[in-house]
Chains A and B, each alone.
Chain A
Amino acid sequence: MNILRKSDLKRIVACAILFAAVQGLLFAEIIGPFWELNIVLICINIILAVSLNLINGYTGQFSIGHAGFLAVGAYTGAIMTVKLGFPFEVALVVGTVAAGFLGFLIGLPTLRLNGDYLAIATLGLGEIIRICILNIDYVGGASGLMGIPRFTTFAWVFWIMIFVIFFIKNFKNSSYGRCCLAIRENEIAADTMGIDTTKYKVMAFTLGAAFAGTAGVLFSHYFYIAHPASFTFMRSFDILTMVVLGGLGSMTGSITGAVLLTFISAYLAEYPEWRMIIYSATMIVLMLHRPQGLFGNKELSMKMFGLGGGKDGRTAESK
C-alpha cells in the first residue's frame, strides 16, 4: 500500500494553501480564540469521523465505542508528557499505538459478532474503558488528569488530520481496502472468495482505533485536561452521528459531517437549552429524507457539480 500517491501531490498543495490561509487569519488575530478552539475541534472531529468511517463505513462493522479509544489516547498521551516527561511527539506515537493495540486485542474476539451484537459489545467496551479510568487514582480518577501542557497547535492538528485522511483514502484504494469493502458488501461471499475476513476486520478496527488514539492525544494536549466525562458514550454517539450524517462509507461525507456538526454545536452553544432539540430535529429530518446520509457512499467530487472548484479543503480529499 502506498501511503502517498503521485496524484495526491496536487491535493496536498491545495491543503497547504488552505493551511496557510487559516494560519494567516489566526496570526492576524482575525479568527478569535473561540473560533480557533472550534477549528482545532473540527480537525480532531474529522480524524475521529474518518477513522470511524473506516470501521463502520468501509468494513461495515458497526462499532459505537470510539470514545473509548479516544480516551485511551488522551490519557496515555497525557501520562507520557505529564507524568513521565516525554516530548509531545513521543506522546503522539505512544497514544496511537496504545489505542491501536487495545483495538487489536478487543477486535479479535468481538469482531466475530455482527450487526447489533457488535454494536452492543463496543458500546460496553467504551463504557468499561471510561469506568476503569474513573477508578484509577494515578490519572486523577473522577477529577481528571490536570495540568497537561498545551502542545497541540493548529499546525499539528491540521497536518495530522491531512495525514490520516490520506492514509485512510489510500488504504481504501489498496487491495486491503478492497477486501474490507467486499466484507461490507457480503461477508459470506467474501469468505467463499478466499478473503480472510477476520484478518481484514481486525485490521480496519485496529487502524480506526489507533487514529482515534491520535485524536485523543491531540485533544488532551489542547484542553489542558483529560477528564472521564469527556469520553462518555454520548461522545461515541457524536462521532457516529457525523459519519452517518455524511453518509456511511463516504470519506468526504465524514469530513462534511464533522465540520457541519461541530459548527452547529458551536453556534448553538449560546442556547444550551435548545441545542439538543435542534440537533435531534435535524437528525430526524435528515433520516426521513436522506436515510443514506448526505452523500450516501459516494464521494463528493467536482464531477458531482459538473464543474470544477469546491469549498475549502474538501475538494482535496475527494476521489
Chain B
Amino acid sequence: MLKVSNLDVYYGAIHAIKDVSLEVPDGEIVTLIGSNGAGKSTTLHTISGLIKPKNGSIVFEDTDITGMAAHKIVGMGLCQVPEGRHVFANMTVMENLELGAYLRSDKAGIAEDMDKIFQKFPRLLERKTQVAGTLSGGEQQMLAMGRALMSRPRLLLLDEPSMGLAPLLVKEIFNIIKEINESGTTVLLVEQNANMALSIADKAYVLETGRIALAGTAQELASSEAVRKAYLGG
C-alpha cells in the first residue's frame, strides 16, 4: 500500500534520515520503533508531506506522492495523527471531529462516521460540547485519532500515541488501534513504547540515528536479542 524507498531527509546541514526504505502492506499494522532522535517522526512527517525529502520516493497505492503538498495527500486517503496530539484547543469536540471531515461532502456518511467514532470512544460522546483544550491527555489523543478517522483514511499514520499517558490508558489506546486496523484501516505506528507496539504490530522496523537498523515481523523483532537489550529493557 505504501512503499518508501531510499529516503534522504536533511534539516539544513543535518542528515536526519539516511537511505530509509520501508513498506506497509495493505491491512497490516507496521510499527517504526527507535529511541529519541532516531528520525521516526521525521520519517512520518515526510510521508505525510509536511517535510520535503532530498532524495528517494514515496509511493502510495501506485501514486508517487513524494514532495506533494500535505493537504493533497490527505485527500488521497493517508492521514496523520501528529505527535503531541494537536487538537484544536478552543473548539469543541464536535467541531474538531467535523474539521476531520473537511475534505468530505457526503453529509450522511459524515454523520454515520461520527456515530461510529462516538461508539469507539464513548468518552468523547460524554464530552461532545466540551472545549478540546480542557480534555485530559488521553481524551485528546482519542479525539485526535477520531478526528483523523473522520477523513476515512485507508492508511493511518500514528505518531507516538502513547506519549505522556498513564499505563492503563496506553493499553486502551492500543486496543483501539487494533480495532481500527481490524475494521480495515492500514496503520503505520511510530512508537517509543516498543513493547506495546510490537505486541499489536504485524511488521516492524527499528530506526537508529536515521537508518533502518533492523526489520522483520513483529514476533521476530520482539524475540531478537539486540532489540530486547536496546528497547525492551532486558
Q: In angstroms, how far is the closest chain B Cβ from the Cβ of A176?
A: 12
CA distance A197 to B49 in the complex (A): 13
Residues of A close to B79: CB separation below 8 A? 192, 194
Per the 8 Å Cβ criterion, residues 221-267 of A in contact with B are none
* A192 adjacent to B74 (CB under 8 Å): yes
B102 lies within 8 A of A194 (CB): yes
Q: How many residues belonging to A are interface residues under a CB distance threshold of 8 Å?
A: 17
CB-CB nearest in chain A for B103: A194
Which residues of the partner chain A approach B184 to less than 8 Å between Cβ atoms? none
User: In the bound complex, do residue A192 and residue B81 qualify as a contact, i.e. CB atoms below 8 Å apart?
Assistant: yes
B177 at the A interface (CB under 8 A): no
Contact of A192 among B70, B89, B90, B91 (CB under 8 A): B70
Contact of A189 among B69, B87, B103, B151 (CB under 8 A): B87
In the complex, whether A137 has a CB less than 8 A from a CB of chain B is no
Q: What residues of B have a CB within 8 angstroms of the CB of A89 in the complex?
A: none
Q: Decide if B50 touches A191 in the complex (CB within 8 Å).
A: yes
Which residues from B are CB-within-8-Å of A192? 48, 50, 70, 74, 79-82, 86, 148
**What is the bound-complex CA distance between A186 and B84, given in angstroms?**
12
Majority secondary structure of chain A interface residues (helix, strand, loop or mixed): helix
**A194 contact set on B, CB distance < 8 A:** 70-71, 74-75, 79, 102-103, 151
A290 and B30 alpha carbons, distance in the complex (Å):
49
Tell me the B residues contacting A by CB distance below 8 Å. 48, 50, 69-71, 74-75, 79-82, 86-91, 99-100, 102-103, 144, 147-148, 151
6 closest cross-chain pairs (CB), A and B: A194-B74, A185-B88, A189-B86, A194-B103, A196-B71, A191-B70
A–B Cβ pairs within 8 angstroms, 17 of them: A181-B91, A182-B91, A186-B86, A186-B89, A189-B87, A190-B99, A192-B50, A192-B148, A193-B74, A194-B75, A194-B79, A194-B103, A195-B71, A195-B99, A196-B71, A197-B71, A297-B90
Query: Chain A: residues with CB nearer than 8 A to chain B?
Result: 178-179, 181-182, 185-186, 188-197, 297
